[in-house]
Amino acid sequence: MRVLELTEQQNINIDNRERTMQIGTKIVKFSKSLALALAIGVSSMASAQLEDIVKTGEAKVKDGLKSQAKVDKIVDSSQARLVEFRSLVKQVDGLKVYNNQLSTQIESQLQLIEKFEDSTAQVALIERQMLPLIIKMVESLGQFVDLDLPFHEQERAERILFLEESIERSDVDISEKFRQVLEVYQIENEYGRKIDSYSQIITIDGQEQDVNVLRVGRVALVAQTKDTKLSAVYDKATKKWLVLDNGLYRNSVKNGIKMANKQASISVMTLPIPAPEVAK
């Protein structure tokens, strides 16, 4: 009985040991599983935190790029405004100079306007004084033509008649009338500096002759028939044509006519020129 009890006790002890070992093995396996689970959890948590950190960093980089873009835009805008400001400053300086120049011109123009207004106020007075002067000038010109050598008589008489008619016209300004008179005076003045030749019928010794007239300024007025057989000179004292010595003056008058018609070069001529009158 005692032996049986010992054997059963041993078996119980053996079962207890085996159970203890099984429990230990399970504990070890559980501990390993728990450790592995903890390690996996810790690793998952670290990976999640790392992703969060990376995302946060990327967000900050993007925010930095946006901020830098804004800064660059502000800098570019400031530079553009600075360039525009400098350009406007130059324009303002140029406009100041231009305005000063315009002010000087305006002041000068105002002075001219004032002078013109003063002159305009005198126009009526000047017109009243000009008309009698023009009339007197035309009368004097007519008298001068009558007393002058008888060349281009019809042409000169027509000019005088035109001036007389112009004076009577109300549609012609005083300034235009005065200009016309000065123009005729200029033509008459030119007659004294030039020579010319033209054809005319004159009376010599009571007979009409078709001649070529040679005028040398207002110094001499001579004529010669077409066949050059007769030469004559106008005498202001008697207002007649006087026959010249054809042997002495024939070639000279003939050459003078050619020179006036530009058929010969200018050269010395022998012409009858009256002595100047001596004032008493």
SS3 track for the chain: CHHHHHHHHHHHHHHHHHHHHHHHHHHHHHHHHHHHHHHHHHHHHHHHHHHHHHHHHHHHHHHHHHHHHHHHHHHHHHHHHHHHHHHHHHHHHHHHHHHHHHHHHHHHHHHHHHHHHHHHHCHHHHHHHHHHHHHHHHHHHHHHHHHCCCCCHHHHHHHHHHHHHHHHCCCCCHHHHHHHHHHHHHHHHHHCCCEEEEEEEEEECCEEEEEEEEEECCCEEEEEECCCCCEEEEECCCCEEEECCHHHHHHHHHHHHHHHCCCCCCCCCCCCCCCCCCCC
- Residue 268's pLDDT is 86
Q: What is the pLDDT of residues 186-199, one digit of tens each?
A: 999 999 999 999 99
pLDDT in the model for residue 146? 92
pLDDT of residue 3: 42
What lies within 8 Å, CB to CB, of 47 at 6+ separation is none
Nearest to 192 by CA among 225, 217, 156, 226: 217
Taking alpha carbons only, the member of 256, 266, 274, 255 closest to residue 196 is 256
pLDDT the model gives residue 4: 42
What does the block give as tokens for 232?
A: 């004559």
State the pLDDT at residue 122: 74
- Residue 166's pLDDT is what? 93
**The pLDDT of residue 13:** 54
Question: What's the burial of 234, exposed, middle or buried (CB within 10 Å: 0-12/13-18/19+)?
Answer: buried
pLDDT of residue 46: 60
CA 196, 198, 199 angle in degrees (round to 5)? 160
Domain boundaries, the chain: 1-94, 126-191, 195-260
Buried-state track 100-131, b at ≥16 Cβ within 10 A, e below 16:
eeeeeeeeeeeeeeeeeeeeeeeeeeeeeeee
pLDDT single digits (tens) 223-244: 999 999 999 999 988 999 999 9
pLDDT at position 120, please? 74
Instruction: Look up residue 148 and give its amino acid.
Output: D
pLDDT given for residue 80 in this prediction: 82
pLDDT confidence of residue 58: 74
Q: Rounded to two decimals, what is the model's pTM?
A: 0.55
CA distance 216 to 249: 15
The stretches in the chain having pLDDT less than 50 are 1-6, 278-280
Q: What is residue 118's predicted lDDT score, i.e. its pLDDT?
A: 76
Place of tokens 């007979």: 207
